[in-house]
A and B are shown apart, each in its own frame.
Chain A
Amino acid sequence: MRWLIGLIVVLAAAGLAFGASDYRLFQLTTVIVYAIAILGLALVTGFTGQISLGHGAFYALGAYVTAVMMSLWDLPYWSTLPVSALLCAALGFLVGLPALRLGGLYLALTTFGLAVAVPQLLKHKLLEPWTGGVQGLVVMKPDPPEGIPLSADQWLYLFTLVVGAVMFALADNLVHGRIGRAMRAVRDHSLAAEATGIDVALFKTRSFAVSAMFTGVAGSLGAIAVGFVGPDSFTVLLSITLFVGLVVGGLTSVPGALVGAAFITFLPNAAEQVSKAAPGAIYGAILIAVLFLLPSGVAGGVTSLWRRLQPQRGRT
């Protein structure tokens, strides 16, 4: 059933490639990119219960890996994804190591510090030969393969969609299986989880690695879509935006990541017509409102509404 719905959504989304304008396609590509990033955050924060306010750092690493490989070394865009996935997983594992010793709040604090420090690190002169310093790097938009009659925007959208579908399938599989149950056990009661034979340390660091891998791949796709990376695109606000998307969409919902991504993509467009500062204020207000009124996010709210509307079948 889940797979069927997923397939229908992907096919419908693929159909959009042939109807929407280039600008709409760019927005939809951004939605998928953010959805993958939020999905990564959901794995570690929602399912495993390790609060991260610094996932923008992994997003930035993914974006820079792709930008460096494409614009400095002239490698094809698709070859950058596995590299950035691997590097981000490694960084995620390293960040996960102190997380082992730090309870919820301290981890939030450390990752917040990481997010604040990222732009400074990217601007540093030792890295400048690769990162281009303050100027950043320009990434050429890839052309569709020979013989395929699609525009570059259509091709990029479909490519992102396919990668996104694979990532969603992976995450869905992960959280619905044995590993997903273990992750939730670590979150809900790590001591009991330990007692039932779950290696808590291993699960915490590994879920950090997997989560960072997802967000890093999203960063790579984002760099290709935007065509530019620069230190000031990866401020602490990016990490916070991903966190907002996660909470609004639903902390422990795979489809919720898509809802959250749509929210953080389309809301700024609508709100910026009021004021440059409006998106932040609305993000903040909605974040607080969701935490008060819909603690399980939009996805959770829809699910419980759906259950309430279903006729009772002899069980509560």
Chain B
Amino acid sequence: MPELLHQLLSGVASGGIYASVALALVMIYQATHVVNFAQGEMAMFSTYIALTLIQAGLPYWAAFALTVLVSFVIGSVIQRLLLKPMAEAPVLASVGVFIGLLLVFNSLAGWFWTYTLKPFPSPFDGPPLLGGFVTRHDLGSTVVTLVVLLLIWAFFRFTKLGLGMRAAAYNPVSSRLMGIRVDAMLALGWGLAAAIGAVAGMMVAPVVFLDPNMMASVLLYAFAGALLGGIDNPAGAVIGGFAIGVIENLGGAYLVGNELKLTLALVIIVLVLTVRPSGLFGRTVVSRV
């Protein structure tokens, strides 16, 4: 029983990471109907930036804030330069651009910072809490991801800018007629997604260690989470991400063993897509032919 509780709690902690990346994916999917295959690599790149800043002597939270800001700028610049001209292109072309980005970020990280595993500091150091059930980092990173998710929700729910972004994603043409700068909203969305990814990267790095391929499996779990919750429903994606974290940890511990965790994610993806393509909370898409 204590073992189960331990697995459950650490599942929730990693679920928070997947939920963040899943939310980043869904934000971009809602606005442009493409899935950003480079989301994980962008987060990994941001984490390296954070490590460089920390090694340069910045205090952790200053480096954290600066990294989030830099990632936001990188995200919006990428949207402006590469994705905007691709807006009308077929799916294959945009998938190709994302794969290109994935390769570029992965290689640049290897180029600048080498492929060796690097430890990444956690701001939540200290002995485990609750009689050893949960590490301080697990608890701290869960709190950080929850705060981020809450902030994002409040931003979309209560600010005019958030409303504008939702409108631009829902109906670009009408939004433009209403005076919303749709292009700026898309760039903003990309920036936000990159910033959320950066937080996720910085929270997962102390657990898995930092290397250029760190995010590949996280991205796969995030895909699974986003699809499970419904790829067009941000709240669903967050719930899906947490669920995947728990399923992954319990499945790895009791069902399939650690070696098949990724395959478990693949099986979930295939199951969701074949049994209930809209996910648990998504809208069923009806298209007129």
Contact = CB atoms under 8 A, between A and B. Distances in A.
Interface SS of chain B: helix
A240 interface: yes
B134 interface: no
Contacts of B66: none
Contact of B104 (A51, A104, A281): A281
Q: How many residues of A sit at the interface, in one of the four size bands?
A: 35 or more
Interface stretch (B44-52, B57-65, B241-249, B259-267): B259-267
B92 A281 contact: no
The interface centre, meaning the residue of B96, B106, B108, B270 with most chain A CB atoms within 10 A of its CB, is B96
A278 B277 contact: no
B289 A191 contact: yes
Contacts of B91: 51, 104-105, 108
Contacts of A292: 85
A26 interface: no
B108 A277 contact: yes
Contact of A102 (B37, B96, B277): B277
B93 A295 contact: yes
Contact of A114 (B261, B266, B274): B266
Interface stretch (A16-24, A79-87, A118-126): A118-126
A101 B108 CA distance: 37
A117 B103 contact: no
Nearest to A295: B93
B95 interface: yes
Interface in A253-304: 275-281, 283-285, 287-288, 291-292, 295
B277 A101 contact: yes
Given A287-B96, A291-B93, A110 B270 contact: yes
Contact of B82 (A108, A251, A288): A288
B69 interface: no
Nearest to A276: B110
Nearest to A275: B111
A112 interface: yes
Contacts, number: 135
B273 A98 contact: yes
Contacts of B139: none
B34 interface: yes
Contacts of B85: 292
B111 A277 contact: yes
A155 interface: no
A161 interface: no
A120 to B, nearest CB: 5
Contact of A291 (B96, B269, B274): B96
A240 B103 contact: yes
Contact of A113 (B104, B115, B269): B269
Given A101-B273, A117-B265, A288-B97, 20 more contacts: A98-B274, A101-B274, A104-B91, A105-B33, A105-B95, A106-B277, A108-B35, A108-B37, A113-B223, A117-B220, A120-B262, A124-B260, A275-B111, A277-B107, A278-B111, A280-B106, A288-B100, A291-B86, A291-B89, A291-B93
Interface of B: 33-35, 37, 82, 85-86, 89, 91-93, 95-97, 99-111, 115, 216-217, 220, 223-224, 227, 259-263, 265-266, 269-270, 273-274, 277, 289
14 contacts: A105-B33, A106-B277, A108-B37, A110-B266, A112-B223, A114-B266, A116-B217, A244-B103, A278-B107, A280-B104, A281-B104, A284-B105, A287-B99, A288-B100
Closest A-B pairs by Cβ, 4 of them: A280-B107, A284-B103, A284-B104, A277-B110
